[in-house]
Amino acid sequence: MNEIVERYQRRADAFEANVEAVAAEQWDNPSPCEKWSAGDVVDHIIAMHGYMLRPIGRSAPERTEDRLADFRAARKAVQDLLDDPAVAGQEVETPTGKMTFAAQIDGVVSDDLPLHGWDLARATGQDETIDPVDVERLWASTTATPAELMEQYRTPGAFGPDVEVFGAEVSVPADASLQDRLLGLIGRQP
């Protein structure tokens, strides 16, 4: 369990640093996620934290006009529950089956943080480097995803209205960095 908590904290720290670095005039910048601005990327991450709380009967903190404060509040809500072993180990229903609350956080919102951190960095001119440990882990889990589930991830609306987990795969050179190959696999133009 500690590994999941530590991974989430590290990734959330990095994402929070990206959010802190966004200048007021950059929130409307287009992101690599088609149809999303830099602000939309952060709004998505905040909303996903709220979605993760629903299976255990909790709700997301109220939104404000301050995305950084909202991310911090959403992060704290999830972190507090991860820090409670009884809640972290509780089984929840998810779109991909039963798992513990901690495993759901690890496989969904925690995995989203480095990828959408890259989106936010690209949209706002920040350092786009994803932690190599995360790149390797995400590459391994993504390439191990069964083809049928991968197809579902690429199908808009398969997990709810306006939800598209991955875009169409983007071809990258065979000798590209693992980060670029991962980004291409999930539908980003590195």
pLDDT single digits (tens) 132-183: 999 999 999 999 999 988 888 888 877 777 677 898 899 999 999 999 999 9
Q: Which of 33-42, 106-115, 159-168, 170-179 shows the lowest per-residue confidence on average (mean pLDDT)? A: 159-168
Please calculate the CA angle 32-143-54 and round it to the nearest 5 degrees.
65
Please calculate the CA angle 71-42-14 and round it to the nearest 5 degrees.
65
pLDDT grade for 96, boundaries at 50, 70 and 90: confident
- Looking at residue 32, what is its pLDDT? 95
Domain boundary among 128, 163, 178: 128
- Residue 158 sits at φ, ψ, to 5 deg, of -65, -30
DSSP state of 37: B
On the question of pLDDT at 1 being above 70, the answer is no
Predicted TM-score (pTM) of this structure: 0.94
DSSP state of 83: T
- 84 shares a domain with 29: yes
Amino acid identity of residue 86, one-letter, is A
Residue 104 Rama label (left phi>0; alpha psi -120 to 50; beta): alpha
Spell 124-148 as b/e; 16+ CB within 10 A means b: bebebebbeebbeebeeebeeeeee
- 119 shares a domain with 39: yes
Domain boundary among 86, 107, 128: 128
- 150 shares a domain with 120: no
- 46 shares a domain with 139: no
On the question of pLDDT at 70 being above 90, the answer is yes
Instruction: Give start and end residues of each alpha helix (H) in 54-96.
Output: 67-82, 85-88
- Looking at residue 9, what is its pLDDT? 97
Domain boundary among 78, 109, 128: 128
The span from the CA of 157 to the CA of 118, in Å, is: 23
* Residues 19, 23, 28, 29, Cα dihedral to 10°: -90
Q: Domain count of the chain?
A: 2
pLDDT grade for 36, boundaries at 50, 70 and 90: very high
- 12 shares a domain with 47: yes
Instruction: Give start and end residues of each alpha helix (H) in the chain.
Output: 2-20, 38-53, 67-82, 85-88, 101-107, 109-124, 132-143, 147-153, 178-185
Task: Return the bridge partners of 93, or none.
Answer: 98
Helix crossing, 38-53 with 67-82: angle to 10°?
30
Q: What is the CA radius of gyration of the chain?
A: 16
- 166 shares a domain with 123: no
- 17 shares a domain with 103: yes
CATH number for the domain that contains residue 47: 1.20.120.450
The domain containing residue 152 runs over which residues?
A: 129-190
- What confidence tens digit (pLDDT) does each residue in 2-15 have? 999 999 999 999 99
- Looking at residue 34, what is its pLDDT? 83
DSSP state of 57: T
- 145 shares a domain with 117: no
- Looking at residue 39, what is its pLDDT? 98
pLDDT grade for 95, boundaries at 50, 70 and 90: confident
